[in-house]
Copies of this chain bind each other. A is one copy, B any other.
Amino acid sequence: MVTRLLTNIGELLTNDPEYGDHSAVGRLRDAALVVDEERVLWVGAARDAPAADERRDAAGAGVLPGFVDSHTHLVFAGERSREFEARMAGERYDAGGIASTVAATRAASDDDLRTQCAARYSALGVAGVTTVEVKSGYALDVAGEARLVALASEVTEEVTFLGAHVVPSEFRGDREGYVALVAGEMMRACARARWVDVFCDEGAFDVDEARVVLEAGRAAGHQLRLHANQIRDIGAIELATEFDCASVDHCTHVDDVDVERLAGSSTVATLLPGAEFSTRSAYPSGRRLLDAGVTVALATDCNPGTSYVTSMSFVIALAVREMGMNVDEAVWAATRGGAAALRRDDVGHLAVGARADLVILDAPRAAHLAYRPGTPLVAEVWRARH
């Protein structure tokens, strides 16, 4: 394999405390690294860099691991900008919310969905995401969810079956029937998904219903994650830690007991401030979770209803402005935190042996991601061969 030296890096964040300043982000200045087409081979000071087949001068730019976006809903049809405008204006809007996306997605052809998903995947990629999780959840019937899982599998290995997104209108009178369908035939049709997820919150599924789906998921060999505490605290975090979910996502409303539970667990709290931005809701405190020892991830929650966000830099800027996180914590959460939320050790950091997924900034330091909000600062993305 061809080896490549990237040198004259102004600031390199490795996310491994073994390196550089031994902080959580393992920061080196005047650094270099060598990769082959798959892995990081060498990390250190630029002046000590070994030779390689190719050499690239970063001209003082900042370099960090590729972003790991551990929570997206990329496969959908339609858009809901009018609903967004009505919400921002404080007006009623009764065109269906998630149901309108479900209708548009059901009606769309495979090619149409594939094209739209690819455009969003590309927008994420240009903005520095090198690992992405993609959920189903906008079909809510057996064949449709299987189709969304198949389409998601075309762009990532991190596919999540979210049949338990909301109860579709045709099951309004039979919630139990829908939960049984999700936990049975629908889950079997989506067997290729690595993850099973449930939206366990007010207006979605309650703890008992979520438990049925999680138990079935575990029994079928899936790994588990949960949407929870976005709207209200209905006890979902206890459920998430009981099932050792890899991540519990949103965590907007959490009490001290929940925070302690998370801190004592291996469940990551994934914060999605794009959703609070786009719904004008109060932001969760990243600071409080971090101070308690909880592992925090940041993700885009890219979806057409509540967070049509494809920029992890924007998410980082919000985390710093609104959630009490410093830049290092936010960048870590958007990279290594996302990897932890996917129970991945090979991405989200740049230690020797990690995947050669990295971002070269059009800026000398990662701090510019928050300091220059709204400006696309990802100059180049290097991705390991799969």
Q: A89-B326, A277-B321, A321-B280 are in contact. Are A374 and B81 (CB under 8 A)?
A: no
Q: A85-B326, A321-B280 are in contact. Are A123 and B375 (CB under 8 A)?
A: yes
A280 to chain B, nearest CB (A): 6
Within 8 A of B (CB), among A71-88: 79-82, 84-85, 88
Report if A236 contacts B (CB, 8 A).
no
The 0/1 profile, CB within 8 Å of B marked 1, for residues 310-337 of chain A is 1101110100110000110000000000
Residue from the list B88, B123, B364, B368 in contact with A321, Cβ < 8 A: B88
Number of copies: 2
Quick check: B374 and A314 within 8 Å, CB to CB?
Answer: yes
Report if A376 contacts B (CB, 8 A).
yes
Quick check: B310 and A372 within 8 Å, CB to CB?
Answer: yes
The interface residues of chain B lying within 8 Å CB-to-CB of A168 are none
The interface residues of chain B lying within 8 Å CB-to-CB of A88 are 320-321, 326-327, 370
Q: A89-B326, A320-B88, A326-B88 are in contact. Are A375 and B81 (CB under 8 A)?
A: no
Quick check: A81 and B308 within 8 Å, CB to CB?
Answer: no
A300 to chain B, nearest CB (A): 9
A377 to chain B, nearest CB (A): 10
The interface residues of chain B lying within 8 Å CB-to-CB of A371 are 79-81, 84-85, 278, 308
The interface residues of chain B lying within 8 Å CB-to-CB of A79 are 364, 368, 371
Give complex CA distance A123, B315 in Å.
Answer: 20
Report if A367 contacts B (CB, 8 A).
yes
Quick check: B84 and A309 within 8 Å, CB to CB?
Answer: no
A: number of interface residues (CB 8 Å): 37
Q: A81-B365, A370-B88 are in contact. Are A375 and B310 (CB under 8 A)?
A: yes
Interface centre among A278, A320, A372, A374 (most CB of B within 10 A): A374
The 0/1 profile, CB within 8 Å of B marked 1, for residues 9-39 of chain A is 0000000000000000000000000000000
Complex: chain B residue closest to A313, CB-CB: B374
Q: A280-B321, A367-B82 are in contact. Are A372 and B89 (CB under 8 A)?
A: no
The 5 closest A-B pairs by CB, nearest first: A314-B374, A311-B374, A81-B367, A81-B371, A84-B371
